[in-house]
Amino acid sequence: MTSVRVREAKKAFNGQSVLRGVDFAVRDGEIAALLGPSGCGKTTLLRLIAGFERLDGGAIEIHGREVAGEGLHVPPERRRIGYVPQEGALFPHLTVLGNVGFGLARRERTRERIGEVLALVGVQELAERYPHELSGGQQQRVALARALAPRPEIVLLDEPFNGLDLDLRRAVSAEVVATLRRSGASAILVTHDPEEAFASADTVAVMNQGAIAQQGDPRSVYLQPASAEVARITGAAVFLDATIRGAVAETALGSMPLGAASPGVNGFARVCVRPEQIVLGAPGSGCAAKILARSFRGDHTVLTVAIGEFRLPVRAPTSFAADASVVEVALEGSCVAFPR
Amino acid sequence: MKRLDRRAFAAGLAAAGGAALLGSGRSAWANEGGALTLYNGQHAETTAAIVEAFTQQTGVQVAIRRGNSAQLANQIIEEGQASPADVFYSEESAPIAALAARGLLAPAQPDTIAQVHSQFAAKDGSWVGVSARCRVVAYNVDMIEPEALPGSVMDFANPEWRGRVGFVPTSGEFQAQALAIVKLKGREAALDWLKGLKANGRVYNGNVAAVQAVQRGEIPTALVNNYYWFRVADEVGADRMKCQLQYLGHKDPGALVTLSGAGILKSSKRQELAQRLLAFMVSVPGQQALVGAVAEYPVRPDVKSPYPLKPLDELDPPDVSPEDIADSDLARDLRREAGLA
Amino acid sequence: MTLALAGAGRRTRSPSWLTLAVLAPTLLISLPIAYVATRAWQVGLAGVAEELFRARTAELLVNTVTLAGSVTLLSALIGVAVAWCVERSDVPGRRWWRVAAALPLAVPAFVASFAWASMGVAFQTMPGAVLILTLSHYPLVYLPVAAALRGMDPAFDDVARSLGRTSWRRFVSVTLPQAWPALGAGALLVLTHMFAEFGALALLRVQTFTTAIFESYELEFDGGTAALQSAVLLALALPPALFEMKLRRDLRFARVGKGGRRRLSLTPLGGARPFVLFGMAALIALALGAPCAVLAYWLAVGKSFGHAAADIWPAVKGSLTLALPGALVVTALAAPLALAATRHLGRLSGLAERLPYVVHGLPGLVVALALVFFSIRFFPEVYQTVALLFAAYAVLALPLAQSALRASLELAPARFEEVARSLGKGPVAAFVAVTLPNMLPGVGAALALITLELARELTATLMLAPIGVTTLATEVWSQANEGRYAAAAPFAALLVAVSAIPVYVFTRRSLELHDL
């Protein structure tokens, strides 16, 4: 059963088209990520699902019930959603207790029920505090508790970890995901950070220029991007010129098998390789390259090397010889090819 | 706690707002058929004294709206037929003459008109004078000898008075004085006089302010009404008055006698009661109440003011009727041509 | 920053309940405009041309612009300087100065003007009027700018310092630009107050359009000249009102994010400290001392003292029962305007939000006559009831409430309401449960400021209050009009004292706003 289904969603602001016919679905109990650069329409899509904006065309269903469509707009308060905005937006005039109890019906608004939800996110001891007395991470957890308290059909998270520093961000997002899984709710997470999307979501929808460019599980969108843009949005990518012969791409660094996602590309093409696929090879196993620069990264070192006119980054172990000026570079795994 | 406070505050707000709305239900028309409504531009105490005596005698209640006479007249004009006012009592004659000119006043009963000196009511009987006063020259005894004062108000337009005379161009009585000059000496003379004053004089926004300026020694002379001297004297003590009054007499426009008057609104639904109030204002008890409260001349000969006023029959004012000094359009044109407005 | 921009682009059409709520104040505000237009129309085109191209009109224009411009400029300079000293310098006794600097607002301009005018003719001139009115109006700039300086993110200042900016250049290049919206809002209020000022200017013998309007009503009874002069005033107020909106719109995105929790660093005054102290002391002595001294003199010298003692309690009661509920009504009417302007700024809500500022430049007399004109024709039931008087108060004081409410609304972003709606609250319930409580500091400030303004309102109260109701302001007028200054003094002193309470509340409120 699907939790959310969006069909042909269209939306324009001031005559500027922001969504141009988006199809998107989330299954029950699933966590989906909407991943894309800023301005791609991911937040607009989330706000349409929430009901904060009206659709210009298309339809939205939540749990099999149509909530937006031709002549229909169910207001947000009747969609049974949970919403966690950027920076949490806790109500500054209410305590944690007041915030979490806010969405509960009066008879449900008991200390026990609220305590239960606070325990779910692990902040029961903060019940009497006001938002300005909480750290950023605590604020996010309370915001999630507030969204989960009324047992929504689906939780919508709009770049909720943006305000947190990197360390906290990973930890809090892991906790939030764990909590969501425990609660059994479906969720949609809007983010521009691929690592966050992959770590959190069962399915990732990559958005670009008002449309969904690809939706699939994290592995497939990362390893088999449907387009060069998707490759760029989902992580660092190196593009190499190549000649395709059957299932093999021949590049300046040697030949490499094509992944399943590049059928029908033949002859001259570009292949996409992830940086971690470019490795140092044993002498004779790859292609000789000149080291131009080295950048120490702690657990590894990144070399910038040149093969003829072509420059590319290569990961080397920290222990890599400091005086070497030439290395042997090789490719690992399979790649995806796009027509040139 | 904090939360409770805010709730209580919000509830308080709502309650106060509700109370305000309920309170607003009280309509101005609630006293229909009951009390008379008087729009009063005359000094509050003068009117209060008369009305109190009236209510005592007749048992009729009078509700009084106070304000500046001209502003009240403008308000009555905007109100038109729906005006809640029954009677208008103006401090000066121009505002009530303006209502008469617009046909908003019902004529006073002939009996009422007959009570007062024939010069002290509108010819058509649309309103009646309630008190009279005289234009004078106020001067500071430390700054100028009375002998050095001019014999005629016309002389203040001459260059030797530059910077030495104060006047109040926005006062209705000053307008009346200019119109009296038109009547007595012609339009040109009046215009020249206004131009001369504009060049020479210092403009004050009110007669009290002008008398005080003379008293303080800010300016040696000012053109005002006689009773303002008594107001200031009441406040600072007559023995401490540096300011004294010069009555010009000799039928000079500077000795003009003007009126404070009252009239009945044509739209009033209580004509009979209103006529009774108007008649009372010029009756002996009404006039007696008046002269005790303000240093103006009574409009009937058989009542005497307790104030040490120069007797009415010694003022020797110019021969000018209320109609002669009622043309506010002409007054405006003159003021504009002289650059005063 | 980009996120905030994206959020702004997403500004939605206002919901229908808000549109309806905006309609009421907008309708009220357009009444004086319609009235002025009606009366001006009756003059005819030829009359309009004649009136507009008179030498007198040019003279009034020069006077009005000179006075309003100078007072606004000086108030801006003094207001910003005092705000900076109180909030960002280490001047001793900052807490005390913070309130003291706002107190001149409690002295009605006509009381101050009377004090100065009686001290000598030198003050009864344009420069004198500029000085005296600046002294009583600079707090309108000081208060919002002080609040803005207080709420500013210290990081900006730190960055500027790290870039080697000296204290003065930091102020000009970093601090001031962030205070622009607050400065603009305050300056606009001062400017429109100057357009509408009558009592003080009559005493100081300076002629502007407003004094001319009063004169016209004094001596003419067709309202034509006054209407044309009012139309010029409206035209004068329009460009600054639009400019201020543009100023705020351009800088809207500069204020995303909460101010830092860290305390702002204070600039040491060093050797300038005695001069700053002396300057502030002199300012407050002039603004407060002179009027108080004159009130004391009246009491000591006048023979009419105690004359109207029996009228004191009814006047206090009248003032409180009109000003406090009046302030509530005005604030309630202003709320939707402020809300629409901060949440759904479109062309129409922009106009609705601006109109009150334009009409704020009209004298109370014109507003009162307009309401007489319309209510007697269309709603005779409300004529001369509290309801109509409150409508007049709204027309006269809406912008004061709008400015105060807007400041606090910006602290309660739309996101709060969205969260509330995702949790099952309807639009109105969400507003009441979330936005309203967070607006309360602003509501408190608005109430205080309007109570202050209404307590001293004279013309509309005289014309429209239920018959027989007196207020402190009407009694001051009535007694002073008769030359009984000693009798007027207790009323004036009470008016100042009663006004000082809202000033104090407003000062605390508006400064605390950014401490939340």
**Predicted confidence (pLDDT) per residue in A92-142, tens digit:** 778 899 889 888 888 888 888 899 889 888 888 998 988 888 888 888 889
Nearest to C480 by CA among C461, C493, C497, C468: C493
- Residues B306-325 have a mean pLDDT of 89
pLDDT of residue B24: 43
Q: Nearest C-alpha of chain A: how many angstroms from C425?
A: 5
Please tell me if the domain spanning B28-132+258-309 has the same topology as the one spanning B133-256+329-337: yes
Looking at per-residue confidence, does C513 or C506 come out higher?
Answer: C506
Q: Which residue has the tokens 């939790």?
A: A3
The whole-number pLDDT of residue B30 equals 39
Contacts of B20 in chain C (CB under 8 A): 325-326, 328-329, 386, 390
Give the pLDDT confidence of B215-235 residue by residue, as tens digits: 989 999 999 999 889 888 888
Band of pLDDT at residue B287, cut at 50, 70 and 90: very high
> What's the pLDDT at C345?
66
Average pLDDT score over residue span C429-457: 84
Q: Which of B304-313, C123-132, C403-412, C453-462 comes out lowest in average pLDDT?
A: C403-412
pLDDT attached to residue B52: 93
Q: Are residues A53 and A128 in the same domain?
A: yes
B264 confidence band (pLDDT: 50, 70, 90)? very high
Q: Which residues of B are annotated as a binding site for Fe cation?
A: 43, 91, 227-228
Task: Check whether B1 has a pLDDT greater than 90.
Answer: no
CATH number attached to the domain at B28-132+258-309:
3.40.190.10
Give residue C333's pLDDT band: very low, low, confident or very high (50, 70, 90).
very high
Q: Which residue in the set B67, B235, B328 is minimally distant from C220, CB to CB?
A: B328
**Percent with pLDDT over 70 in chain C:** 88
Average the pLDDT over each of B22-36, B174-188, C153-167, C223-237 and give the range with the smallest value.
B22-36
* Nearest CA-CA partner of A211 in A39, A4, A82: A39
Chains sharing 3 or more CB pairs under 8 A with chain A: B, C
Domain extent at residue A282: 236-339
Q: Taking CA atoms, what residue in C is nearest to B216?
A: C118
CA distance C142 to A226: 60
Q: Locate all alpha helices (DSSP H) within A90-227, ordered by sequence.
A: 96-101, 111-121, 136-148, 166-183, 194-200, 218-223
Please give the average per-residue pLDDT across C288-317, as a whole number: 83
Band the pLDDT of C164: cuts 50, 70, 90.
low
Q: C320: nearest CA in chain B?
A: B20
pLDDT of amino acid C261: 43
Break chain B into its structural domains and give their ranges: 28-132+258-309, 133-256+329-337
For position A119, which CATH number holds?
Answer: 3.40.50.300
At B19, the pLDDT band (50, 70, 90 cuts) reads very low
Q: To which residue do tokens 């506010």 refer?
A: B328
- Of the pLDDT bands very low, low, confident and very high (cuts 50, 70, 90), residue C99 is confident
Instruction: Judge whether C461 and C471 are in contact, CB under 8 Å.
Output: yes
Task: Say which of A93, A95, A130 has its CB closest to residue B6.
Answer: A93
Same domain, A15 and A87: yes
The two three-digit tokens of residue A319, written as one number: 């222990």
Calculated CA dihedral for residues C302, C308, C309, C314, nearest 10 degrees: -140
Q: Which residue numbers of B belong to the known binding site?
A: 43, 91, 227-228
Same domain (yes/no): A77, A217: yes
Determine if residue B251 is left, alpha or beta; phi over 0 gives left, psi from -120 to 50 gives alpha, anything else beta: left
Instruction: Give the best residue of A55, A77, A100, A151 to mutate against chain C (max C CB count within 10 A).
Output: A77
Q: Give the other-Cβ count within 10 Å of B339's Cβ.
A: 14
Both A254 and A223 in one domain: the answer is: no
> Is B175 within 8 Å of B69 (Cβ atoms)?
no
Collect all residues from B whose CB is shorter than 8 A from any CB in A: 2-3, 6
Cβ A54 vs Cβ A69: under 8 Å: no
Mean pLDDT of chain C: 82
Residues 224-243 of C with CB under 8 A from B: 225
pLDDT at C264: 60
Q: Quick one: pLDDT at residue A62?
A: 92
Task: Report the CATH number that the domain containing residue A285 is assigned in CATH.
Answer: 2.40.50.140
State mean pLDDT over C30-56: 87
Give the pLDDT of residue B23: 44
Q: Are residues A197 and A315 in the same domain?
A: no
d(CA C381, CA B28): 8
C108 pLDDT band, cuts 50/70/90, is confident
Q: Give the mean pLDDT of B204-215.
A: 88
The mean pLDDT value for B109-117 works out to 91
3-state secondary structure of A111: helix
The predicted structure's pLDDT at residue C509: 67
Distance CA C126, CA C118 (A): 16
- Same domain assignment for residues A42 and A98: yes
Band of residue B9 on the pLDDT scale cut at 50, 70, 90: very low
**Which of these three, A232, A265, A283, is where a domain ends?**
A232
Residue C511, both tokens:
């400064």
Identify the pLDDT of residue C397.
92
When pLDDT is cut at 50, 70 and 90, the band that residue A259 belongs to is: confident
The mean pLDDT value for A30-44 works out to: 92
Q: Which of B283-292, C313-322, C423-432 has the lowest mean pLDDT?
A: C423-432
Specify the CATH number of the domain B133-256+329-337: 3.40.190.10
Most confident of B261-265, B324-328, C411-415: B261-265
CB-based contact B26 C467, cutoff 8 Å: no
More confident position, C349 or B273: B273
Transcribe A47-110 into DSSP letters: HHHHTSS--SEEEEEETTEEEEETTEE--GGGS-EEEE-TT----TTS-HHHHHHTTS-GGG--
Chain B residues lying within 8 Å of A94, measured CB to CB = 3
**Helix or strand (DSSP H, E) at A307:** strand A300-307
pLDDT at A215: 93
SS3 category, A320: coil
Q: What is the pLDDT of residue B28?
A: 39
Query: What is the total count of domains within chain A?
Result: 2
Contact B248, B153 (CB under 8 A): yes
C62-71, C206-215, C402-411: least confidently modelled range: C402-411
Q: Higher model confidence: residue A230 or residue C405?
A: A230
Q: Is C177 or C296 the better-scoring residue by pLDDT?
A: C296
Percent of chain C with pLDDT strictly greater than 90: 23
> Residue B286 in contact with residue B300, Cβ under 8 Å?
no
Please tell me what DSSP assigns to residue C14: P
The domains found in chain C, sorted by start residue, are 12-255+269-515 (1.10.3720.10)
Q: Which residues contact A199 (CB under 8 A, 6 or more apart)?
A: A170, A173, A174, A177
Question: How many whole angstroms separate alpha carbon C207 and alpha carbon C187?
Answer: 22
- What letter would DSSP give residue C259? P
Contact C415 A85 (CB under 8 A): yes
Q: What percent of chain A has pLDDT over 90?
A: 30
What is the rounded CA–CA span in Å between residue A221 and residue A233?
10
Q: Among A178, A197, A232, where does a domain finish?
A: A232
- Position A240 scores a pLDDT of 87
Return the HEC string of B70-85.
Answer: HHHHHHHHHHHHHCCC
Cα separation, B325 vs C219, whole angstroms: 13
Question: In terms of pTM, does the model score above 0.90?
Answer: no
Share of chain A above pLDDT 70, in %: 99
> pLDDT by residue (tens digit) across A286-301?
788 888 888 888 888 8
Residue C40 has pLDDT above 80, yes or no: yes
C142/chain B closest Cα distance in angstroms: 28
Q: Looking at B23-37, B311-325, C181-195, C413-427, which range is the least confident one?
A: B23-37
Q: Report which DSSP code applies to B310.
A: P
The number of C-beta contacts closer than 8 angstroms across A and C is 82
Whether chain C has a CB inside 8 Å of the CB on A89: the answer is yes
Q: Are the C-beta atoms of residues B162 and B238 closer than 8 Å to each other? A: no
Same domain, A99 and A197: yes
pLDDT at C166: 65
The DSSP string of C227-240 is HHHHHHHHHHHHHH
According to DSSP, the residues that pair with B244 across neighbouring strands are B139
CA–CA gap between residue A35 and residue A221 (Å, rounded): 11
Q: pLDDT of B135-194, one tens digit each?
A: 999 999 999 999 999 989 999 999 999 999 999 988 888 999 999 999 999 999 999 999
Of A213, A232, A251, which one is at a domain's C-terminal end? A232
User: A98 contacts in B (CB within 8 Å)?
Assistant: 3
pLDDT at B271: 93
pLDDT at C392 over 90: yes
Q: With an 8 Å Cβ cutoff, are A78 and C424 in contact?
A: yes
Cβ contact A80:A153 at 8 Å: yes
C-alpha distances (whole Å) from B325 to each of B18, B97, B186, C185 are 51, 9, 13, 49
A195 and A255 belong to one structural domain: no
A271 in the same domain as A156: no
Q: Which carries the bigger pLDDT value, residue A187 or residue B172?
A: A187
Q: Are residue A125 and residue A181 in the same domain, yes or no?
A: yes
Q: What is the C-alpha separation between C138 and C72, in angstroms, rounded?
A: 8
